[in-house]
Homo-oligomer: A and B are copies of this chain.
Amino acid sequence: MFSGAQVSLYPMSRDFVGIILDAVGSLDPYRDRLRIETDDLSTLLVGPPEVLFPALTDLFVAAARSGEHCVLSAAISRGCPGEPDDPICGVGIGDGIKAPLSERIARAIASVANTPVTGQPTAAQFSLYVLGTGNHMDEIYGCIDFLKQSGTFDRAKNFCTKLRGDAGAIFATLQEAFCHFGPPEGHVTLDITVSANSPTKR
């Protein structure tokens, strides 16, 4: 199944170009498992979720360690019927997704709990979109159940859910939301905003 993301990194700094270029170096260990293309708006990363989300974590943490206020924004997609398949994406996202909702929620909570800590405090918000089905809200509400038990839940906002925690747990939460809700072969997308070092109080 085709999966990937259009990713942008916004360091609120005079040296934003240097911070972005340094952070992009953290993608080097993933280059044999991701297709990477950059233009003036975003960087395309094509590859399976289990590679994509750790790569996003490393990219974000590298930028945030500059100490500047940095935001990573991305549109993440799997199973879009308009996209050609790509062998780099592998064969699917596993049988886990076919399990009943309660079982998927339990597995997702365990995955987040077992994610290594990066030491980078992070705030995030995201929207999960389940496309091409008439009952998309059932999966959304199931995902919200998971989020509330994920350890990263901050609060519900209009149009999105806000998370707070270590960058590792935040991206693990996003990966679980992306992989375990919505039909196994369905079209699912995330719209994510991940922020560090904001001068604005919560």
Contact = CB atoms under 8 A, between A and B. Distances in A.
A17, A75, A83 — most chain B CB neighbours (10 Å): A75
Contact of A193 (B8, B131, B133, B187): B8
> How many A residues are at the interface, by size bracket?
35 or more
26 contacts: A6-B125, A8-B71, A10-B12, A12-B16, A13-B13, A14-B14, A39-B157, A39-B200, A40-B123, A40-B200, A41-B123, A42-B193, A44-B157, A44-B158, A46-B158, A73-B73, A75-B160, A77-B127, A77-B159, A83-B159, A127-B189, A129-B131, A130-B131, A132-B133, A132-B137, A159-B189
A87 interface: no
5 smallest CB-CB distances across A and B, nearest first, come from A10-B10, A12-B16, A40-B200, A191-B191, A14-B14
A16 B131 contact: no
From A69, A187, A191, residue with most partner B Cβ within 10 Å = A191
Given A131-B136, A132-B137, A158 B83 contact: yes
Nearest to A38: B200
A141 B81 CA distance: 11
Interface in A163-202: 187, 189, 191, 193, 195, 198-202
A40 B77 contact: no
A200 to B, nearest CB: 4
A189 B136 CA distance: 14
A127 B46 CA distance: 17
Contacts of A191: 75, 127, 189, 191
Nearest to A200: B40
Given A123-B41, A134-B132, A202-B40, A4 B158 contact: yes
Contacts of A123: 40-41
A82 interface: yes
